[in-house]
């Protein structure tokens, strides 16, 4: 079983690969801070609320051509996005 940090990094890495961008750019898009994800890779922590917001961002902005990483629970789309998709 993966930890929350492992799940976040798996999702961020898969997103980076799908979008063909580096982790700093993913960090900027998802967190508004280009250094946060690289810091987490290096051992830094993340607050629970920020983790949850970031995982929601990934779910809401996931590339349609990419598979969500196996073993990672995906948050449901935000209500506004669900309405737009229907």
pLDDT digits (tens, 9 = 90+) for 7-65: 999 999 999 999 999 999 999 999 999 999 999 999 999 999 999 999 999 999 999 99
Q: Which are the contacts of 9, defined by CB distance < 8 A and separation ≥ 6?
A: 37, 40, 41
What SS3 class is residue 25?
helix
Q: Report the predicted TM-score, pTM, of the whole model to 2 decimal places.
A: 0.90
Cα angle: 23, vertex 31, 80; to 5 degrees: 120
pLDDT at 82 over 80: no
């Amino acid at each position: 079983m993966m930890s929350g940090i492992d799940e976040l990094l798996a999702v961020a890495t898969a997103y980076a690969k799908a979008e063909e961008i580096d982790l700093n750019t993913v960090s900027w898009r998802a967190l508004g801070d280009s250094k946060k994800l690289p810091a987490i890779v290096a051992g830094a922590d993340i607050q629970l609320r920020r983790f949850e917001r970031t995982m929601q961002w990934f779910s809401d902005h996931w590339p349609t051509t990419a598979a969500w990483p196996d073993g990672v629970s995906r948050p449901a789309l935000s209500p506004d996005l669900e309405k737009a998709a229907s």
